[in-house]
Chains A and B, each alone.
Chain A
Amino acid sequence: DVKVTQSSRYLVKRTGEKVFLECVQDMDHENMFWYRQDPGLGLRLIYFSYDVKMKEKGDIPEGYSVSREKKERFSLILESASTNQTSMYLCASSSGGQVYEQYFGPGTRLTVT
């Protein structure tokens, strides 16, 4: 079974702090994604990566950056956390082939106070 893990289930940070969210997948997938999910807004793509050290902006990249130094690991960085970044953050991965089925991690509920 594909497994996508995220470093924390719950996280509370203060405004202005630098925040790191980590995601690891164990299926040698080429593609990895970071989404945020908010009530009424649905899932929104922040960044995705289709190869090591490669990244592309999603729909809402402002205030975020990412790092992918190894194939299995994709990190989301909030350079200076703000209260409007309080949200559920979801990581996903998929193979690069024809099937392209996305698998999600359990999510990180981030609260910025």
Chain B
Amino acid sequence: KQEVTQIPAALSVPEGENLVLNCSFTDSAIYNLQWFRQDPGKGLTSLLLIQSSQREQTSGRLNASLDKSSGRSTLYIAASQPGDSATYLCAVRPKGGGANSKLTFGKGITLSVRP
């Protein structure tokens, strides 16, 4: 059974720091991996999706990498800002099952960027 782990559960950094959020998964047979952001009391916003054949994806100050063989993904945030404060979740889609397969989510990392 696929398990997705995000450690630490919470992180506090000063504004301006470059930071890396980690996501690990136990079964490397994945179709893709998706990073989400969630603000308190709100739904999830999709940030980046990496297909299993890709190594990384970039959007603005965000860069997500994927190393399937080691079961790891990282979300890199450049020059962090207080507005980046939120919970970041990763989720993997397994191979097989076609479009009916379900995502497995990590529990998220709550990031606080101090002004």
Q: How far is the CA of A100 from the CA of B93 in the complex (A)?
A: 9
Answer yes or no: A27 CB below 8 A from chain B CBs: no
- Other-chain residue from A31, A50, A101, A106 in contact with B46 (beta carbon distance below 8 A): A101
A102-B99 in contact given A42-B105, A43-B105 (Cβ < 8 Å): no
Q: How far is the CA of A30 from the CA of B89 in the complex (A)?
A: 24
- Please name all residues of chain A whose beta carbon is closer than 8 Å to the beta carbon of B107 when the two chains form the complex: 40, 42
- Please name all residues of chain B whose beta carbon is closer than 8 Å to the beta carbon of A98 when the two chains form the complex: 51
- Please name all residues of chain B whose beta carbon is closer than 8 Å to the beta carbon of A42 when the two chains form the complex: 105-108
- Please name all residues of chain B whose beta carbon is closer than 8 Å to the beta carbon of A24 when the two chains form the complex: none
As a 0/1 sequence over residues 89 to 112 of chain B, the CB contacts with chain A under 8 angstroms (1 = contact) are 101010000111011011110000
User: From residue B88, how far is it (CB to closest CB) to chain A in Å?
Assistant: 13
User: Could you count the A-B residue pairs with CB atoms below 8 Å apart for me: how many are there?
Assistant: 56
**Band of interface residues on A:** 20 to 34
Nearest A residue to B108 via CB reads A42
A107-B41 in contact given A43-B105, A102-B34, A102-B103 (Cβ < 8 Å): yes
- Other-chain residue from A99, A100, A106 in contact with B42 (beta carbon distance below 8 A): A106
Q: Is the CB of B108 within 8 A of A104?
A: no
As a 0/1 sequence over residues 29 to 63 of chain A, the CB contacts with chain B under 8 angstroms (1 = contact) are 01101000000101101001010000010100000
B9-48 residues at the A interface, CB under 8 angstroms: 31-32, 34, 36, 41-46
A99-B49 in contact given A90-B43, A105-B43, A107-B42 (Cβ < 8 Å): yes
- Please name all residues of chain A whose beta carbon is closer than 8 Å to the beta carbon of B31 when the two chains form the complex: 100
Q: Is the CB of B89 within 8 A of A43?
A: yes
Q: Which 10 A-B pairs have the closest CB atoms?
A: A96-B99, A104-B43, A42-B107, A104-B44, A43-B105, A106-B43, A107-B43, A50-B100, A101-B49, A105-B43
User: From residue A105, how far is it (CB to closest CB) to chain B in Å?
Assistant: 5
Q: Is the CB of B42 within 8 A of A31?
A: no
